[in-house]
């Protein structure tokens, strides 16, 4: 962090020298463009530094495990879950984070039935932790021949992949592990063998599964990784004494429990119900431009921590 601050300070001083020369002697169009580029670069680095200062929790530095499940709304909800998947993939791409599919279950009609991603990169969990909750979509349904307006829901869960503070120990006697045949369309992400694995953590009732790989051993390894992440999140919730508050904010995947609403009809607006932040360019948000929503949540989270 100290190194970053010094680097930004040096760049700031370079820009100030350019501005001073500009005021005294004028500047060519080429040099003006260079100053403009340096200012834009400096602003981007300051914005990133501000975000990192907001990420004060130890686990914020971790990579993130992100799950999406459709809720009420049938085929529209599955399609909405698929739209959210694309949104987070585009967001990760914008930030040069690597994405690995841990589990994927497609839909015969549209969208997805569920997906679990590992988003690799420094602070990816810290950035994404505020995405946990129910996301609501209002639009004219492309699946309704009468062209009526529909409301769809999907839930997003986010877990840190690891923590240096808390070590999760999985005891064999606490686990119930079974193999089953992968079901449903999955395209390139799902195999068709009987190597899918389901793991039940008996003390908590948490159930995870993986059906991506052809190897039963690999699917078990991934399922245990997801289970560890979920148990880590439970421990973090207990540590902060916020478990009940966080789970209440998610609740049932339906109306009344959403953290954010994306309206495409009769007007266009994305609104975060926790912070009040709004954006009218819905398409831009769905294309992965989430940084302002993330920043506003982190400010809100830190103020209310």
Closest by CA to 97, choosing from 105, 85, 86, 88, is 88
pLDDT digits (tens, 9 = 90+) for 248-262: 555 556 555 789 999
pLDDT at position 91: 97
pLDDT at 130 > cutoff 90:
yes
Listed as own residue / partner, the contacts of 184-192 with beta carbons closer than 8 Å and 24 or more positions apart are 184/105, 184/106, 184/107, 184/108, 184/113, 185/106, 185/107, 185/108, 186/104, 186/105, 186/106, 186/211, 186/212, 187/104, 187/106, 189/101, 189/104, 189/106, 190/104, 190/105, 190/106
pLDDT digits (tens, 9 = 90+) for 28-47: 667 667 777 877 877 777 77
C-alpha separations of 287 from 56, 103, 185, 291, 300 in Å? 28, 22, 25, 12, 24
Average pLDDT over residues 276-300: 95
pLDDT at position 2: 46
Q: What is the largest CA-CA distance in the chain?
A: 77
Of the listed ranges 43-52, 76-85, 96-105, 171-180, the least confidently predicted one is 43-52
Considering only residues 15 and 96, tell me which one the structure prediction assigns the higher pLDDT.
96
Question: Is the model's pTM score more than 0.85?
Answer: no
Cis amide leading into 266 (omega within 30): yes
pLDDT at 212 > cutoff 50:
yes
pLDDT at 204 > cutoff 50:
yes
pLDDT at 244 > cutoff 50:
no
Q: What is the mean pLDDT of the chain?
A: 82
Closest by CA to 202, choosing from 174, 171, 228, 234, is 174
3-state secondary structure the chain: CHHHHHHHHHHHHHHHHHHHHHHHHCCCHHHHHHHHHHHHHHHHHHHHHHHHHHCCCHHHHCCEEEEEEECCCHHHHHHHHHHHHHHHHHHHHHCCCEEEEEEEEECCCCCEEEEEEEEECCCHHHHHHHHCEEEEEEEECCCCCCCCEEEEEEEEEEEECCCCCCCCCCCHHHEEEEEECCCCCCHHHCCCCCCEEEEEECCCCEEEEECCCCCHHHHHHHHHHHHHHHHHHHHHHHHHCCHHHHHHHHCCCCCCCEEEEEECCCCCEEEECCCCCEECCHHHHHCCCCHHHHHHHHHHHHHHC
pLDDT at 6 > cutoff 80:
no
pLDDT at position 237: 78
Q: Which residue's entry shows tokens 């409301």?
A: 151
Of the listed ranges 25-34, 91-100, 118-127, 153-162, the least confidently predicted one is 25-34
pLDDT at position 164: 58
pLDDT at position 256: 57
Average pLDDT over residues 119-145: 92
């Amino acid at each position: 962090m100290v190194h970053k601050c010094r680097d930004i300070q040096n760049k700031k001083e370079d820009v100030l020298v350019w501005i001073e020369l500009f005021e005294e002697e004028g500047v060519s169009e080429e040099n003006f463009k260079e100053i403009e580029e340096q200012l834009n670069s400096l602003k981007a680095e300051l914005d990133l530094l501000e975000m990192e200062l907001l990420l004060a929790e130890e686990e914020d530095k971790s990579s993130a495990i992100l799950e999406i499940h459709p809720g009420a709304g049938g085929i529209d909800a599955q399609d909405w879950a698929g739209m959210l998947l694309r949104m987070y993939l585009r967001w990760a791409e914008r930030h040069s984070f690597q994405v690995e599919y841990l589990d994927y279950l497609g839909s015969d009609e549209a969208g997805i039935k569920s997906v679990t991603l590992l988003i690799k990169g420094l602070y990816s969990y810290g950035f994404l932790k505020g995405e946990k909750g129910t996301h609501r979509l209002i639009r004219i349904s492309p699946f309704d021949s009468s062209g009526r307006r529909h409301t769809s829901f999907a839930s997003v869960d986010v877990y840190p992949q690891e923590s240096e503070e808390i070590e999760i120990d999985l005891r064999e006697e606490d686990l119930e592990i079974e193999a089953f045949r992968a079901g449903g369309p999955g395209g390139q992400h799902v195999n068709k063998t009987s190597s899918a694995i389901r793991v039940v953590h008996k003390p908590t009732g948490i159930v995870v599964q993986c059906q991506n790989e052809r190897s039963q051993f690999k699917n078990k390894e991934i399922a245990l990784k997801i289970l560890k992440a979920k148990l880590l999140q439970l421990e973090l919730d207990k540590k902060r004494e916020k478990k009940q508050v966080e789970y209440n904010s998610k609740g049932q995947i339906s109306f009344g429990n959403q953290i954010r609403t994306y309206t495409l009809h009769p007007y266009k607006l994305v609104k975060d119900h926790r912070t009040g932040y709004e954006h009218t360019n819905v398409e831009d948000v769905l294309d992965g431009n989430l940084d302002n929503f993330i920043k506003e949540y982190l400010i809100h989270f830190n103020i209310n921590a």
